[in-house]
Amino acid sequence: MDRVFIQDLEIETVVGIYDWEREIRQKVVLNIEMAADIAAAARTDSIDDTLDYKAVSKRMVGFVGQSSFYLVETLAERCAEIILEEFDVPWLTLRLDKPGAVTGSKSVGVMIERGRRPG
């Protein structure tokens, strides 16, 4: 199985359960790994034959940047749904970090796996 990935995509959004969190924008970081058959793209050297990670990144920046969720779990699930449906990805893992959310930790967040892992 081939995989296309996006690493450390930083996006500002409204996410959190506390009143003060609802009034500010906080950084979240996405790491996404997606199943994709890249053989055709390797043969043709054409972006039309592969999973366009720039298009996925732009979609995530647009969606996450405009979203407002209480839980990182909900935000991660919505991101995964968009990628699976809009980009015809059969399987993905998505890690969503919320840096600085817990004093003394570098980051907290969730990691989810959705779809059917090929092979």
DSSP the chain: --EEEEEEEEEEEEE-SSGGGGGS-EEEEEEEEEE---HHHHHH--GGGS--HHHHHHHHHHHHHH-EES-HHHHHHHHHHHHHHHTT-SEEEEEEEEETSSTT-SEEEEEEEEE----
Q: Which residues have a catalytic role annotated?
A: 98
